[in-house]
Chains A and B, each alone.
Chain A
């Protein structure tokens, strides 16, 4: 093929992978149920090479799929048919650290945790911590606007990125900063899933490591009491560094895996982390303990080891669930916190309806739900059943005033669900925004925003903020 030939002649051969065998490792990202082999994978070592790849692909009308570490959970980095994968993992240098202004300038392939490791000696860290942080890259984090456990207090990726350098499909360099006068282009790039440009450099905000962090574990006899406690903590004016909730099945799975002393008789478990100066933590701890006085089990970490142990169960919840079932499907809807208990009850009812078990792990502090639906991919049509179940959860999320994806992105996975959250006119605006940056639609085309005919074929009923169109009509 001409495009491969041009790549091989105009770039060093050792950065190009072609053929069935070599491209197979890149055929999917963290959502492994969708797979597609690309024409070629290019792993550039500098910006000049990226520009060359873009030039060749543009001339050949070949789609480009940018990839970081491939840990995404929505298929955003899954190759497209006849596409070239642009893997940025070799651009992994921390270019500079500005301790005084708490900034670091990094290349897109730097791993999330590597930033914190590089600045730890200055008492600083990079706050957003997606669970894949040991592997995922900062470029991918910007493309997905990744979250994590500590977003409630420290924000998402978009809040922690000061500036980026990016390349347009034409190879033009654009520098976007928080201080720019004009439209919010930097915010637009965050979460744009590789559809608008190639991010080549990121300036991140660094956060001082808190003097102290303590975690409170509270077990509850009812899910509703636990959900109410979440609302009460925030209402009382406390912003925990992390506020996580698990249901009984998730508690059982996590405890079976990590053995950290979670109460197996509890219907719901809350982990609430408080951080700051010793004085701040003490004040907040007193407030939180008062609110949690109706909990059936209560434990506060007394040292760093105990704190890490209490988190260990939560952090191993996914692999723990993975041990109980051949496969599981992770959802990512977000809802207003006040609906947490209702949502859990509805998910449990759906679990009965579909006869599929669900373990619920929530970033309760920001209403971000990660129900894990257990299934067996080898059973005929079970994946279809799971997807139907998942779609029902996402519809409920939108109907409750929330969203289909809090931090994982749309990718290829949630294209249908997008039809439920946005109407045709809003989706048309998204397509036009893409065309501003990428008129020939060569950057990760077909991802993140569904084609209008796809939604029409689904016959999806569009609902906004819990209001059905034509409420006067009867529905069955």
Chain B
């Protein structure tokens, strides 16, 4: 296991409050990329431009919207959008107790266990540190126009139940309330 991961785990264990961002994470680079699998695994601090450069060598690209190229894949994931969620296959995370956990994987079809890798899309750094992400990529020729994702207003009765569920899910991943 990498030193940086051990340090981050220790940091979470020792901390009362952490704000997660790419600087804090300081963990980047493409971990695994097989063009014939259409899958890339990257550390969360890897910038989109670094990823795009690697993919372009094999005429592949990211099939989801990204605002700017200097963003990290981790922050795109944390901010969340449906087209990105569609491409997520697996994540490695450090939860609020400092445990390193893996959910999902590197294959397109995978229904073992709840889909935590997609649940945490849009979690905005409040539930866990996302350390590594596996996602689907596509040949450039298959990627059409990518629209900026839009969000809809959630109807009221659903919204209050949803808030309650989201609060409880935060407790599942971050029982001590470390991430703020």
Contact = CB atoms under 8 A, between A and B. Distances in A.
A410 B103 contact: no
B129 to A, nearest CB: 15
B147 interface: no
B170 to A, nearest CB: 9
B2 interface: no
8 contacts: A145-B111, A182-B122, A184-B121, A185-B166, A188-B116, A405-B112, A430-B116, A449-B113
B112 A155 contact: no
Interface stretch (A48-56, A311-319, A420-428): A420-428
Interface stretch (B42-50, B64-72, B137-145): B137-145
Interface stretch (B10-18, B22-30, B79-87): B79-87
B172 interface: yes
Contacts of A59: none
Contacts of A338: 34, 36-37
Given A336-B107, A402-B107, A429-B95, A187 B112 contact: no
Interface string B106-130: 1111111111101111110001000
A219 interface: no
Contacts of B80: 181-182, 184
A67 interface: no
Interface of A: 144-145, 147, 151-152, 155-156, 158-159, 168, 172-185, 187-188, 190-192, 196, 231-232, 234-235, 237-239, 334-338, 363, 366-368, 401-410, 414, 418, 421-423, 425-427, 429-430, 432-433, 436-437, 448-449, 464-465
Contact of B108 (A152, A172, A192): A152
Contacts of B152: 177, 179-180
B5 interface: no
B173 A429 contact: yes
A155 B138 CA distance: 13
Contact of B36 (A232, A402, A414, A426): A232
Contacts of A410: 111-113
Contact of A182 (B37, B39, B162, B173): B162
Contact of B109 (A179, A367, A421): A367
Contacts, number: 196
A172 B139 contact: no
A188 B118 contact: yes
Contacts of B108: 151-152, 156, 334, 366-367
A433 B109 contact: no
A239 B106 contact: no
B165 interface: yes
A235 B110 contact: no
Given A184-B118, A184-B122, A336 B102 contact: no
A120 B2 CA distance: 53
Interface of B: 34-39, 58-60, 80, 82, 85-86, 95, 99, 101-103, 105-116, 118-123, 127, 138-142, 149-152, 154-155, 157-158, 161-162, 165-166, 168-169, 172-173
A430 B114 contact: yes
Contacts of B35: 235
B112 A433 contact: no
A179 B152 CA distance: 5
B145 to A, nearest CB: 16
A185 B37 contact: no
A443 to B, nearest CB: 13
B131 to A, nearest CB: 14
Given A174-B162, A237-B142, A337-B36, 6 more contacts: A158-B86, A187-B118, A235-B36, A366-B108, A402-B106, A414-B112
Nearest to B38: A234
B109 A406 contact: yes
A368 B109 contact: yes
B118 to A, nearest CB: 4
A182 B166 contact: yes
A409 B115 CA distance: 12
B138 A239 contact: yes
B111 A407 contact: yes
Interface centre among A168, A237, A368, A421 (most CB of B within 10 A): A237
Interface centre among A183, A401, A449 (most CB of B within 10 A): A183
B98 to A, nearest CB: 11
Contacts of B172: 429, 432-433, 436
B165 A437 contact: yes
Given A366-B107, A436-B165, A183 B82 contact: no
A183 B119 contact: yes
Given A179-B151, A184-B80, A401 B114 contact: no
Contact of B121 (A187, A367, A436): A187
B34 to A, nearest CB: 6
A43 B124 CA distance: 41
Contacts of A175: 154-155, 158
A366 B114 CA distance: 20
B111 A406 contact: yes
Contact of A188 (B102, B115, B138): B115
A194 to B, nearest CB: 12
Contact of A239 (B34, B139, B157): B139
B36 A234 contact: yes
Contact of A402 (B86, B102, B105, B158): B105
Contacts of B151: 179-181
A370 to B, nearest CB: 11
Contacts of A151: 108-109
Nearest to A178: B82
A237 B142 CA distance: 8
A464 B102 contact: yes
A366 B106 CA distance: 11
